[in-house]
A and B are shown apart, each in its own frame.
Chain A
Amino acid sequence: MVLQPVFSYGWPIVFGVFALSGFILGWSAQRGNYCFVNAMTSVFTVRSYERFGALLLLFGLSALGAGLLVGLGVIPASDQYYFNYFGGWYILVGSVIFGFGAALAGGCNLSMLYRAASGYVQNWIELFGMMIGTYIFAVGIWPFQLYTMEKGILSTTSGGYVEYLPYLIFHNVSDAGVLATTMLYSIPLIGLGIYLQARTKKKWKLMSTGNVSKGMMPSSPKVKALGRPAVPSPSTIKRMDLKGEAKDLLLLKKPYGTNLTTVILALDMLLVFIVGAGYTFNYLVITSSDGGRFFEYILFLFGQHLFLTTPWFNDSLPIVDTSTLMVVMLCVGAFFSSYLSGDFKIRIPREKKRLAIGFIGGILVGIGVRMALGCNVGLMWTNFAQIGYDGIIFIFGMLGGVYLAVKVQERL
């Protein structure tokens, strides 16, 4: 089957929009300090579900948006399932290794990039470790993994509609089937996300009650009024607060809230889903494959071409695709937001062992994401938008890996 472009514009527009999407992703994630690993770590360390709830919201909103676009006939169903990868043992094992490595190194694939662009040296080291990890995977693991995938050993032997939930449930990909599956899939995710966030906020409120004296409560804004007492109504205060908040966000004086970032990221995913339909992998991709690609690019400068000599590099990665510009512009967007807000600074950790841990964690991240056929963005988040089941396997595997890393770090 060959995909047909849904909208008639050329490749420069497609590449340009993917680059813009990368810029938005880097900018928003940096402003919101959005990290999948931190969201999971906080579940095990401080029992906070606020950020993990936001992740579920993100997955639910992405699935809902993409599913509605397909179900309402704007985008063909083939564009939703075409890039659905194989499923198997490697997703579970890879996601555990990834979660463990990323929690050790101090960031998921998304936060690794925006923090590296904000001057965090530990994340530069993690990125380099990831490139080495990708090479280790390519030489040592990929031939065996490919064999199990071809033979169907604890693995499906193809992706696409075979792993598309509307097809698995209704045995067809009709609009009605897609719409029904979308609702069944996304609404519980959104509901659970909201519930977890509300539960955490309630817990915080209970903890703060009694500890906060009246003098510590925020004071009402002072409003000048002519001919009337200077007591604004609650709705006026709310409007002024919102206006001031929006101004502070625009002027980069305040970071973005978790849920605002969540909504921006979900819309960003839908932007590339629409614009890339029929042209290319129309979802967001971060470094999981580009870690290998940029390693290959560095070697180009020395006359080495891994795509001629090395497994995985010779059959899995085009020399350039939309994710290349997306990743580059993600770093640029994160750099701009950190620089303009005054956050940018070259930061070398005081404890030098953090660098070694970052490097080892990076290697594990490289191996894990390649085994799982994608990272927390390119596979987990994307697969939720694809209405597949690999993302569900990945989230549980990653939670397991993060839990192990938390336990290991407690002993270090």
Chain B
Amino acid sequence: MSVKINPVYVRKLLAPLVLSMFAVGWYKFSEVYLVGSDKLALSNGNYAVYVVPTQMQGYLTATLWICYFLVFAGLSVFWYNTVKIVQGLEGVASSFGGVDVVSPVVIAVELDTFFYLFRGITPVDLRLIGYGVVIACLMWFWYALVKYVKVRTNG
């Protein structure tokens, strides 16, 4: 049996993820290749292309914050579309469906991935916040699961 996937769903879900990954990739590229090339330009005495450290640092700082913004925006759009698609597939009759149970898990994974990706480039230790997110989302998950079972049982 073959599963037919609607290409609109793929586009709606894949595009924001690609954007988030691009943002992280761009920052890493800047940090590794652009800074490296700048040092190379300086060592070769090519001052026409060399960028002074304050300017380069300004670029990296701005790129880092843009990276935060884009990852957050991309993942938010991804999750919003996921919820919309699942709601569409479930039908509108159910007021409390599977998507409400899965939501806390996805949000925990999203936030912890976010913290994991930026663990090396943020000045603060994000581990404690990550643990807090996992605990809060687990509690939310159990609450949602119980509610879901009740809704299903009682109709």
B143 contact set on A, CB distance < 8 A? none
B26-A328 in contact (CB<8A): yes
**One of A14-22, A34-42, A135-143, A388-396 at the interface:** A14-22
Complex formed: what's the CA distance from A15 to B41 in Å?
21
Complex formed: what's the CA distance from A15 to B46 in Å?
23
A324 contact set on B, CB distance < 8 A? 59
Contact partner of A319 (CB less than 8 A), chosen from B19, B37, B57, is B37
B19-A16 in contact (CB<8A): no
Chain B positions 45 through 66: 1 when the CB is less than 8 Å from some CB of chain A, otherwise 0: 0101111001111110111011
A16 contact set on B, CB distance < 8 A? 62, 65-66
Say whether, besides A10-B58, A12-B58, A305 and B37 are in contact (CB < 8 Å): yes
B49-A318 in contact (CB<8A): yes
Interface positions, chain B 11-51, Cβ under 8 Å from A, are 11, 15-16, 19, 26, 29-30, 33-34, 37-38, 40-41, 44, 46, 48-51
Taking the complex as formed, is B77 at the interface, i.e. its CB lies under 8 A from any CB of chain A? yes
B79 vs chain A, min Cβ distance (A) = 15
**One of A60-68, A250-258, A268-276, A308-316 at the interface:** A308-316
B44 contact set on A, CB distance < 8 A? 308
A325-B63 in contact (CB<8A): yes
Taking the complex as formed, is A332 at the interface, i.e. its CB lies under 8 A from any CB of chain B? yes
Taking the complex as formed, is A150 at the interface, i.e. its CB lies under 8 A from any CB of chain B? no
A319-B50 in contact (CB<8A): yes
Complex formed: what's the CA distance from A34 to B41 in Å?
38
Chain A positions 293 through 326: 1 when the CB is less than 8 Å from some CB of chain B, otherwise 0: 0000100110001011000011111111100110
B49-A15 in contact (CB<8A): no
Complex formed: what's the CA distance from A328 to B26 in Å?
9
Say whether, besides A314-B49, A332-B19, A344-B11, A319 and B58 are in contact (CB < 8 Å): no
Complex formed: what's the CA distance from A320 to B15 in Å?
27
B21 vs chain A, min Cβ distance (A) = 13
Residue of B nearest to A340 (CB): B77
B40 contact set on A, CB distance < 8 A? 305, 308
Taking the complex as formed, is B70 at the interface, i.e. its CB lies under 8 A from any CB of chain A? yes
Taking the complex as formed, is A11 at the interface, i.e. its CB lies under 8 A from any CB of chain B? yes
Taking the complex as formed, is A58 at the interface, i.e. its CB lies under 8 A from any CB of chain B? no
Interface positions, chain A 1-15, Cβ under 8 Å from B, are 10-12, 14-15
Contact partner of A308 (CB less than 8 A), chosen from B16, B19, B46, B54, is B46
B147 vs chain A, min Cβ distance (A) = 32
A320-B66 in contact (CB<8A): no
B77-A314 in contact (CB<8A): no
Helix, strand, loop or mixed for chain A's interface? helix
Complex formed: what's the CA distance from A319 to B51 in Å?
7
B34 contact set on A, CB distance < 8 A? 297, 300, 319-320
A320-B62 in contact (CB<8A): no
Taking the complex as formed, is A359 at the interface, i.e. its CB lies under 8 A from any CB of chain B? no
A329-B66 in contact (CB<8A): yes
B56-A320 in contact (CB<8A): yes
B70 contact set on A, CB distance < 8 A? 332
A11-B26 in contact (CB<8A): no
A325-B62 in contact (CB<8A): yes
B49-A300 in contact (CB<8A): no
Taking the complex as formed, is A81 at the interface, i.e. its CB lies under 8 A from any CB of chain B? no
A301 contact set on B, CB distance < 8 A? 33
Complex formed: what's the CA distance from A325 to B19 in Å?
15
Say whether, besides A14-B58, A324-B59, A332-B19, A317 and B33 are in contact (CB < 8 Å): no
A316 contact set on B, CB distance < 8 A? 48
A47 contact set on B, CB distance < 8 A? none
Contact partner of A339 (CB less than 8 A), chosen from B15, B49, B51, B56, is B15
B57-A11 in contact (CB<8A): yes
B49-A12 in contact (CB<8A): no
A307 contact set on B, CB distance < 8 A? 37, 41, 46, 49
Taking the complex as formed, is A114 at the interface, i.e. its CB lies under 8 A from any CB of chain B? no
B140 vs chain A, min Cβ distance (A) = 28
Complex formed: what's the CA distance from A335 to B23 in Å?
13
Residue of A nearest to B26 (CB): A328
Residue of A nearest to B56 (CB): A320
Taking the complex as formed, is A345 at the interface, i.e. its CB lies under 8 A from any CB of chain B? yes
B55 contact set on A, CB distance < 8 A? 11, 320-321
Contact partner of A344 (CB less than 8 A), chosen from B15, B26, B48, is B15
Q: List 27 A-B contacts (CB under 8 A).
A: A10-B54, A11-B55, A11-B61, A12-B61, A15-B58, A300-B33, A305-B37, A305-B40, A307-B49, A308-B46, A313-B49, A318-B48, A318-B50, A318-B51, A319-B34, A319-B51, A320-B51, A320-B55, A325-B59, A325-B62, A325-B66, A332-B19, A332-B70, A336-B73, A339-B16, A340-B77, A344-B15
A residues with a Cβ closer than 8 A to B are 10-12, 14-16, 19, 297, 300-301, 305, 307-308, 313-321, 324-325, 328-329, 332, 335-336, 339-340, 344-346
Listed from nearest, the 4 A-B pairs whose CB atoms lie closest are A11-B58, A15-B62, A12-B61, A16-B62
